[in-house]
């Protein structure tokens, strides 16, 4: 049976362990937080409280010569880096490491991580895509000051060309539209909006709020 180790049991790491527990693999999970270990022990047998930067401690619980190890340590960048170094010294092969920033990711890659993942970025993209595909009209927070507005074309937009809409709503930018099931990113300003088309705007929060009040 294949063995996979997961180091760091925050939300991301715990999700991975729970998912792996349903497969035909042996999972070793470690974290320095006893409460997290107790919670994950409901799903797997091999969960240990330890300092993952300690090479001997990793070896003692069987994290050496493994094909796959996932490092999901959160904000402690130093611990993340030292853990990857320890894992390499223990001859673990495919080390998949979570990174918080691009610089963090570059460092992990240079010291031996096989693959770098950015869970927060992935989750953000998935959320935006889900919202855009399923809303009738909604505001999506991009940041404290910027919002995306997605809406199904109504009488204010149907049979009007994109350039006419741009001219009327100068404080917002049309970034995409969906017609006949296809999203268009390269905006054709001469395109005439049809019934059931979907328009996506982006702009400052103060202007998006005023915009939404009109509908």
Indicate whether 149 and 208 sit together in one domain: yes
Instruction: Answer whether 195's CB lies under 8 Å from 160's CB.
Output: no
Residue 124, in any domain of the structure: no
Indicate whether 34 and 106 sit together in one domain: yes
Instruction: Answer whether 73's CB lies under 8 Å from 50's CB.
Output: no
Residue 173, in any domain of the structure: yes
Indicate whether 14 and 69 sit together in one domain: yes
Residue 39, in any domain of the structure: yes
Domain count across the chain: 2
Helix (H) / strand (E) containing 47? strand 46-49
Indicate whether 36 and 90 sit together in one domain: yes
Q: CATH number of the domain that 164 lies in?
A: 3.30.70.1450
Q: CATH number of the domain that 68 lies in?
A: 3.40.50.720
Residue 80, in any domain of the structure: yes
pLDDT at 121: 64
pLDDT at 132: 47
CA 162 from centroid of its chain's CA atoms: 32
Per-position pLDDT tens, the chain of length 215: 889 999 999 888 998 899 899 888 999 999 999 999 999 999 999 999 999 999 999 999 999 999 999 999 977 899 999 999 999 999 999 999 999 888 888 999 999 899 898 876 655 555 455 544 544 567 777 776 888 888 888 888 999 999 999 999 888 989 899 898 888 888 889 999 998 899 998 888 888 877 876 76
Place of tokens 């760091």: 8
Q: Of the candidates 118, 148, 169, which is a domain's last residue? A: 118
Range of the domain at 163: 132-213
d(CA 198, CA 46): 50
d(CA 49, CA 37): 6
pLDDT at 38: 95
Residue 77, in any domain of the structure: yes
């Amino acid at each position: 049976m294949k063995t996979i180790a997961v180091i760091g049991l925050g939300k991301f790491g715990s999700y991975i362990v729970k998912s792996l527990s349903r497969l035909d693999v042996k999972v070793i999970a470690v974290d320095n937080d006893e409460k997290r270990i107790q919670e994950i022990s409901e799903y797997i047998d091999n969960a240990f409280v330890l300092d993952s930067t300690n090479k001997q401690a990793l070896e003692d619980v069987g994290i050496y010569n493994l094909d796959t190890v996932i490092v999901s340590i959160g904000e402690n960048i130093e611990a993340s880096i030292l853990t990857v170094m320890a894992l390499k010294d223990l001859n673990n092969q495919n080390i998949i490491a979570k990174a918080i920033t691009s610089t963090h990711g570059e460092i992990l890659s240079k010291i031996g991580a096989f693959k770098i993942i950015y869970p927060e970025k992935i989750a953000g993209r998935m959320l935006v895509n889900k919202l855009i595909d399923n809303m009738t009209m909604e505001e999506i927070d991009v940041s404290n000051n910027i919002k995306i507005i997605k809406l199904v074309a109504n009488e204010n937009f149907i049979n009007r060309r994109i350039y006419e809409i741009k001219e009327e709503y100068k404080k917002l930018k049309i970034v995409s539209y969906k017609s006949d099931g296809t999203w268009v990113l390269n905006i054709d300003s001469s395109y005439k909006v049809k019934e059931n088309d979907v328009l996506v705007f982006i702009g400052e929060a103060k202007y998006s709020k005023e915009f939404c009040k009109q509908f």
